[in-house]
Amino acid sequence: MDKPFRFGVGLTKAQSLATLTETARRLEGFGFDVLKVPDHLGAAAPFPTLVAAAAATSTIRVGTYVLNAGLYKPALLSRDIADTALLTDGRLEVGLGAGYVRAEFEAADLPFPTRGRRVEHLENMATYLARRQPEVPLLIAGRGDRVLTAAARHADIVGLIGSQVIGADDPLTERIDFIRAAAGDRFDALELNLAITAVPTNGLGMPELSLARRFAPKLSDEELLGTPAVLSGSTHDMADTLRRYRSQYGINYFTVDLDHATAFAGVIDALR
């Protein structure tokens, strides 16, 4: 049986309390299930933003998408998660990633480890949090084999990021088959999330591709339009695409950027 659809929306920029309150209530009214905050220096601070958003709303969950595990020590992050879960009345979801921006490590006066060491720290963090915060759903997002292996083994939700898999005609099938093999008996209990990077917002059915291009800078516009993370067409067309993703791949949880929220609200209505 297909899992119910869930929809998340990412809030990047810091906002005043009044603006955040209005934004969170509007997104809840649109039908979004989770308000998410990323973890980049210069963006909104995740935990205070999530606490304020939860205080302004009643049903929408709040989460991180995703915390840079390399910027944290397990015990300190676990403390922040525990108190944030308490202050949000148990509506917290935690997303983790390995971290990839060297400049952010340097700005935080931290060494920038090799990719292997960053993934190893991510795995250790996930194991630690799963033992101490089992009531808080854990998402791990990434694209590479090692991160997706960690997600398959330790997370409740696997976040699929990226546009291409070299040599794969169907990148979603390739990545999900990889996750299935790594998860073993855990796979059926996992929730699969896909980050949507482009959505039409002008009523013409063609998305603006600047965000999608950050993840695949070498692809042409035509190639980007063919990637799973880019939606195009009418509201009906986009809803049909997400229905197909759920039935064909088992992906039921989709995340969009705040700039796409108003246009995407019609897709949510069409799927419920």
Q: Average pLDDT for residues 196-223, to the nearest whole number? A: 90
| Res. 168 pLDDT band, cuts 50 70 90 | confident
Tens of pLDDT, residues 58-78: 999 999 999 999 999 999 999
**pLDDT of 163 higher than 90:** no
**pLDDT of 226 higher than 70:** yes
Domains by residue range for the chain, with CATH? 6-270 (3.20.20.30)
Q: Are 261 and 11 in contact (CB under 8 A)?
A: no
CA distances in angstroms from 161 to 44, 177, 188, listed in the order given: 21, 15, 20
Retrieve residue 136's tokens: 């808080």
Q: Are 37 and 44 in contact (CB under 8 A)?
A: yes
Q: Are 26 and 62 in contact (CB under 8 A)?
A: no
pLDDT of residue 215: 81
**pLDDT of 164 higher than 70:** no
Q: Are 94 and 100 in contact (CB under 8 A)?
A: no
pLDDT of residue 1: 86
Q: Are 219 and 229 in contact (CB under 8 A)?
A: no
Lowest-pLDDT choice from 63-72, 150-159, 179-188, 219-228: 219-228
Q: Which among 257, 249, 256, 271 has a CA at the least distance from the CA of 192?
A: 249
**pLDDT of 227 higher than 60:** yes
Q: Which among 101, 229, 239, 89 has a CA at the least distance from the CA of 165?
A: 229
> If you average pLDDT over every residue of the chain, what do you get?
95
Tens of pLDDT, residues 111-152: 999 999 999 999 999 999 999 999 999 999 999 999 999 999
pLDDT of residue 167: 66
Its pTM stands at 0.96
Which residue type occupies 206?
A: M
Question: Which DSSP state fits 3?
Answer: P
**pLDDT of 166 higher than 70:** no
| Res. 193 pLDDT band, cuts 50 70 90 | very high
**pLDDT of 217 higher than 90:** no
Q: Average pLDDT for residues 205-210, to the nearest whole number? A: 93
Question: Considering just the CA atoms, what is the radius of gyration of the chain in Å?
Answer: 18
Lowest-pLDDT choice from 52-56, 187-191, 212-216: 212-216
